[in-house]
């Protein structure tokens, strides 16, 4: 019997490439997105159900999971991919902007996971794959909103991996680097009217690529391949890093003292 995966945020980027890769490898795919009526590629593939899911809408989550089980009979894996980035000066952010970042990247991910877990238990096991970022390990300037949500995803995933181990449900974290998808196009920048921060922001965005410009960046296909590997390798491995730039930042944090790493980041982007 073919296995079934449910993927959030499958309309583009990592999500779409992951949906195509699982389908090519014989899986049933529940490809969820906010606007399924706009999708014209995944709908043409066999054993793919394209359906509505907005991670901020609990009813849509429950309906999407129900539709996937009704179509394919069971669920074996979940890929929590939906999310977006909010960047800018913390002091300038509105409460609504901060809450929305958490509603999508953290609470939405938790709601989808909670909706899927009963089916994984009924199935006798499965895999949950949460898409984090190198920004879930290393926090750079002006990325505190996004990074803090990904830090939350990392902590939640690590704890949940222990909680579900005896139920034969694996939890994995995928940490991509700066992959060129529509993540950057969809990046929300906070309007800043506080003059003192302007030179700091200018310096950061001018230098952002400099520490890793010599390193190869992963593609969306690379991330999809890693997600598929995490779902199928049968390992107790928790974290999967994708991209030399992501590995660069993670290694820099691990291999330096706290004082030295703080100095590195500030020399790269602030001083």
Residues with active-site annotation: 132, 146, 150
Handedness of CA 244, 245, 248, 249 (dihedral sign): negative
Nearest 5°: phi and psi at 4?
Answer: -125, 135
DSSP string, 72-132: HS---EEEE-----EES-GGG--HHHHHHHHIIIIIHHHHHHHHHHHHHHHTT-EEEEEE-
DSSP E strands: which ranges in the chain?
4-7, 28-33, 48-52, 77-80, 86-87, 126-131, 169-176, 188-189, 239-242
User: CB–CB of 252/186 below 8 Å?
Assistant: no
Q: How many CB atoms lie within 10 A of CB 269?
A: 19
- Report residue 100 CA to chain centroid gap: 16
């Amino acid at each position: 019997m073919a296995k079934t995966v449910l993927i959030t945020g499958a309309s583009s980027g990592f999500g779409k490439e992951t949906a195509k890769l699982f389908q090519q490898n014989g899986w049933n795919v529940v490809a969820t997105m906010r606007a399924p009526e706009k999708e014209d590629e995944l709908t043409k593939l066999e054993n793919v159900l394209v359906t509505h899911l907005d991670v901020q809408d609990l009813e849509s989550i429950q309906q999407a999971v129900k539709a996937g089980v009704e179509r394919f009979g069971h669920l074996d894996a979940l890929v929590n991919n939906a999310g977006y980035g909010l960047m800018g000066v913390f002091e300038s952010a509105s409460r609504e902007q901060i809450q929305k970042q958490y509603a999508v990247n953290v609470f939405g991910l938790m709601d989808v996971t909670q909706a899927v877990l009963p089916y994984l238990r009924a199935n006798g096991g499965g895999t949950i794959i949460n898409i984090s970022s190198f920004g879930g390990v290393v926090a750079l300037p002006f990325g505190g909103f996004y990074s803090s949500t990904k830090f939350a995803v990392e902590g939640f995933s690590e704890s949940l991996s222990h909680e579900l181990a005896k139920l034969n449900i694996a939890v994995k974290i995928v940490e991509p680097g700066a992959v060129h998808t529509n993540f950057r196009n969809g990046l929300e920048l906070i309007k800043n009217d506080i003059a003192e921060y302007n030179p700091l922001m200018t310096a950061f965005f001018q230098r952002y690529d400099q520490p890793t410009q010599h390193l190869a960046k992963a593609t969306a296909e690379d991330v999809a391949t890693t997600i598929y590997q995490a779902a199928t390798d049968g390992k107790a491995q928790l974290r999967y890093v994708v991209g030399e730039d992501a590995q660069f930042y993670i290694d820099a944090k691990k291999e330096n003292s706290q004082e030295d790493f703080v100095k590195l980041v500030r020399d790269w982007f602030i001083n």
